[in-house]
Amino acid sequence: MKKILSLVTLVSLLFVFNSCKDEEEIYYEGDSLVNFDKTAQIANVILNNNNADYLVTYGVTKASQSDNTVEIVFDAANSTAVLGTDFTIVEGTDVLKSGSAVGDFKINVKESAAKLGKKAVFTLKSNTLGTAPFNKKVEVAFTLVCPAATFPGVFSVKNVLFGTYDVEIVAGTVANTFILKDYIETGFDITVNFNPLTGEVSLPVTQQSTGYVNGANGVIFIKPAIDGSRGTVDFCNKIMNLRLSYGTPGGATYTSGGATSYADVFTGY
């Protein structure tokens, strides 16, 4: 047995079953108005890749019943980035098709601008759609990220159920995956998915065995956080915040201290 579940944790550990609650869907009854779905967005550029494309996303309050052309407008006065020097607008016009509620524009960000942490502010324009009174502007921050290949190594992990210990992280054989070697029990590795540009991390949909047997309840499994949250990884500073839940072979989820979704935090040496 590689890790020992603390007695306090074990005593407080209960089961809950995943349940779905019907939520009343909200409909907007007014005109279809354009707005940015997120007013703060991040365009990452991988170190030594020179540049990277980024999709600036937007939406409408209600899907339109016809095709509409929407433009992105650069707000130079409120930006630190310079158009043509720090970035270019690759696709500045988007045709929002009938029935669609989301769209995007493509920009290309230079690595030099990401190193300096430049920011670009944009607004929206359409001759056929009005503008919503909210989310009228978006600030896109240019950020430099290290290649994922620099991340693997030995880490100290603060595991919410099993305490603090060291674990080795290696690159997976499948693209954009890390392997947590012998994460809780020897011989039981855990696969983690990551996005090399955004730094988002998550667990595969299929739950994975930790190898740890919790008495009559059987083996503890690790699975994506049931609250839907995703984790993050900082390749440069070798820090990973992995959001997850622990469960049983039958699909129940462990809860401790009232929580069913946790964050295991990894810090590289």
User: Do residue 225 and residue 213 come from a single domain?
Assistant: yes
Q: Please report the pLDDT score of residue 197 as a whole number.
A: 86
Beta carbons within 10 angstroms of residue 75's beta carbon: 13
Q: Please report the pLDDT score of residue 168 as a whole number.
A: 98
User: Does 8 fall in a domain?
Assistant: no
What's the alpha-carbon Rg for the chain, to the nearest Å? Answer: 23
Strand-pair partners of 92: none
User: Do residue 161 and residue 256 come from a single domain?
Assistant: yes
Q: Please report the pLDDT score of residue 9 as a whole number.
A: 52
User: Does 3 fall in a domain?
Assistant: no
Q: Please report the pLDDT score of residue 3 as a whole number.
A: 64
What tokens does 78 get? 């409120």
What 8-state DSSP symbol labels residue 30?
A: S
CA 197 to chain centre: 10
pTM strictly above 0.75: no
Q: Please report the pLDDT score of residue 198 as a whole number.
A: 87
Last residue of a domain, one of 121, 145, 169: 145
Q: Please report the pLDDT score of residue 251 as a whole number.
A: 87
Would you mind telling me the total number of residues written for the chain in this entry?
269
Question: Pairing between strand 137-145 and 93-96?
Answer: unpaired
User: Do residue 119 and residue 195 come from a single domain?
Assistant: no
**Considering its fold, how many domains does the chain have in total?**
2
Q: Rounded CA gap, 91 and 71, in Å?
A: 9
User: Do residue 108 and residue 155 come from a single domain?
Assistant: no
Q: Rounded CA gap, 47 and 153, in Å?
A: 19
User: Do residue 48 and residue 87 come from a single domain?
Assistant: yes
Q: Please report the pLDDT score of residue 216 as a whole number.
A: 78
What tokens does 198 get? 């955004």
Nearest in space to 122 (alpha carbons), one of 101, 103, 141: 141
Predicted confidence pLDDT, tens digits, the chain (269 residues): 456 565 345 444 555 544 444 444 444 567 899 999 999 999 999 999 999 999 999 999 999 899 999 999 999 999 999 999 999 999 999 999 999 999 999 999 999 999 999 999 999 999 999 999 999 999 999 999 899 999 999 999 999 889 999 999 999 999 999 999 999 999 999 999 999 988 999 999 999 999 999 887 899 999 999 999 999 999 988 999 999 999 999 889 988 778 899 999 999 99
User: Do residue 124 and residue 211 come from a single domain?
Assistant: no
User: Do residue 100 and residue 176 come from a single domain?
Assistant: no
Q: State whether residue 99 is helix, strand or coil.
A: coil
Q: Domain range holding 54?
A: 33-145
Last residue of a domain, one of 107, 125, 145: 145
Last residue of a domain, one of 91, 115, 145: 145
User: Do residue 131 and residue 192 come from a single domain?
Assistant: no
CATH number at residue 172: 2.40.128
Q: Please report the pLDDT score of residue 19 as a whole number.
A: 43
Residues contacting residue 20 through CB under 8 Å, at least 6 positions apart: none
DSSP letters of 184-236?
SSTT--EEEEE-TTT-EEE--SS-EEEEEE-GGG-EEEEEE-TT---EEEETT
Q: Rounded CA gap, 32 and 128, in Å?
A: 10
User: Do residue 137 and residue 156 come from a single domain?
Assistant: no
What tokens does 97 get? 């098709």
Q: Rounded CA gap, 156 and 24, in Å?
A: 43
User: Do residue 158 and residue 228 come from a single domain?
Assistant: yes
Question: In degrees to the nearest 10, what's the CA dihedral of 34, 37, 38, 43?
Answer: -90
Exposed e or buried b per residue across 38-64, where buried means at least 16 C-beta atoms within 10 angstroms of its C-beta: eeebbbbbbeeeebbebebebbbbeeb
